[in-house]
Structure 1
């Protein structure tokens, strides 16, 4: 979303499992690739530090034999939107608050799902910062990491820093981040208030690292808290767990 004036706040958000109810990458890995039990082992290895997200995620995706187009078709038929996200997005747009997707997924998948689930307006106004995909044949494809040198594949902290610099965001602008899982670890310390999805892995990391956060179940909860902070001048610290 491009604005002509400095916004009162900026919302950076993960996409899979945060904006959507299911993680699209987990869905195709579980249903088309190696399956949940093997993916869970890799996920636990990422959380424990035995492997990094970049390498673990690549193993998951390379287990999928289907073409990229087939993967998108499966996801469009099965992935659902967080029930509060569209209302949240429309409120942010009316209040001149950019919503920026910062994802460890792949841009063509995010764009297809966002267009179907939220609409063309969202695609025109929500910036997507993510990995990409390289399709080399009708049946062969691979993830193209935004930051291949990083153990995250996409270093979300770096992307947030770059966004603030390139958009000349004024010091003191309130920054929010919304996430749920292991791909959000690099971004967890980068904003003023972290929204971590209830019952998901990001909360475990925040507790272990002593990172302040507030839980959410859906975007209506996020909206209510952001309204208190942005519109009513509420203290962010009141929401820290």
Structure 2
């Protein structure tokens, strides 16, 4: 049955990870961002569940079942979405009243459009909801310039049935790491064709707020974590390099710094861009069986935390500080002052 939505979703205006519009002498930057808690400060699903579904008390209990491992994210999510009994349009009214967009997101999106930087949403939520929210808060034209990689949905006309249509047959329902890997490969193919067969690697930026974003974050060359939330806490606990941000204005400043650095280094000649050498390792690792032999033989603590983060969930949190001189300058890395590193005992 077709999804009962008013108005119907706006057709996608571009292919995910489209990079051809960027100048040939610039590093091909592609942005991916989580939605709930990142672009919007609230969770769209939680707003619906609390007002038209299972209620906040039951939702919190279900969230605990995910955290404890008692039930999978997919199983719990199906119960939460199944608890809704409200037509789509009526449910959206409560979201309009309760959602708050990052104050600098619209400016950041305009910046991406001006510099031909593809910006993509990658989410464990439902695509029809996310599209309607973006249409409303940004306008349909700007919204159509954002590709959404999320689960689809069947929503009955009377609102009595809300059922996710999962992207992947996994316990998460949507494997964000797989989605980013697929987009990276497509972008590499496009760039290779554009450059006459020469191998060109895009720069993948990921923006998030929670631990559920970590699979996607591990596939990124540059990771932005919203300050004070769980993804930043996890990165600090496990010595994962990241750039903290309070609003998207912070992200814009850092991406502009990267663009200007590329312009100075390429000198308009299209010279190979510099990349974080550690990120090049993670982009080649799509599974435990694909781990490079030298990493398996003598992995560092950071290597193991990136590759098998679930094994490090109980580590004692180190004492932290931000420094400018702890990290030696290594070609291709972010500036030392922008990386949060643990203080060595």
Whole-angstrom distance in 1 between the partners of 2:85 and 2:33: 30
Whole-angstrom distance in 2 between the partners of 1:196 and 1:48: 24
1:236 and 2:334 matched: yes
| Aligned partners of 1:67 and 1:140 also within 8 Å | no
Structure 2, gaps ≥5 residues long? 1-13, 192-199, 263-331, 341-345
Q: CA deviation at 1:3?
A: 4.5
Alignment of 1:1-241 (within 5 A): 1=14, 2-6=18-22, 8-138=28-158, 139-147=160-168, 149-167=169-187, 168=189, 170=191, 171-233=200-262, 235-236=333-334, 238=336, 239-241=338-340
Distance 1:53 1:121, change over 3 A: same
Q: CA deviation at 1:175?
A: 1.1
Q: CA deviation at 1:164?
A: 1.9
Whole-angstrom distance in 2 between the partners of 1:11 and 1:92: 9
Whole-angstrom distance in 2 between the partners of 1:37 and 1:181: 21
Structure 1, gaps ≥5 residues long? none
| Aligned partners of 1:46 and 1:182 also within 8 Å | no
Whole-angstrom distance in 2 between the partners of 1:226 and 1:39: 37
Q: CA deviation at 1:227?
A: 1.4
| Aligned partners of 2:33 and 2:122 also within 8 Å | yes
Paired residues in the alignment total 240
| Aligned partners of 2:54 and 2:84 also within 8 Å | yes
Deviates more, 1:103-112 or 1:132-141: 132-141
Whole-angstrom distance in 2 between the partners of 1:45 and 1:213: 29
Deviations 1:130-182 (A, max 9, x none): 111112452222111111x1121111111111112233354432211111124
| Aligned partners of 2:84 and 2:161 also within 8 Å | no
Whole-angstrom distance in 1 between the partners of 2:37 and 2:126: 14
Whole-angstrom distance in 2 between the partners of 1:42 and 1:206: 25
| Aligned partners of 1:34 and 1:60 also within 8 Å | yes
Deviations 1:183-232 (A, max 9, x none): 32321201011111122222333344443222212111111122122223
Deviations 1:57-84 (A, max 9, x none): 2232222232333222321333221110
| Aligned partners of 1:28 and 1:71 also within 8 Å | yes
Matched residue SS, 2:255: helix
Distance 1:122 1:229, change over 3 A: same
Whole-angstrom distance in 2 between the partners of 1:169 and 1:51: 40
- Residue number in structure 1 paired with 2:278: none
Whole-angstrom distance in 1 between the partners of 2:201 and 2:118: 15
| Aligned partners of 1:68 and 1:140 also within 8 Å | no
Distance 1:240 1:49, change over 3 A: farther
Q: TM-score, normalising length from structure 1?
A: 0.88
Structure whose alpha-carbon radius of gyration is higher: 2
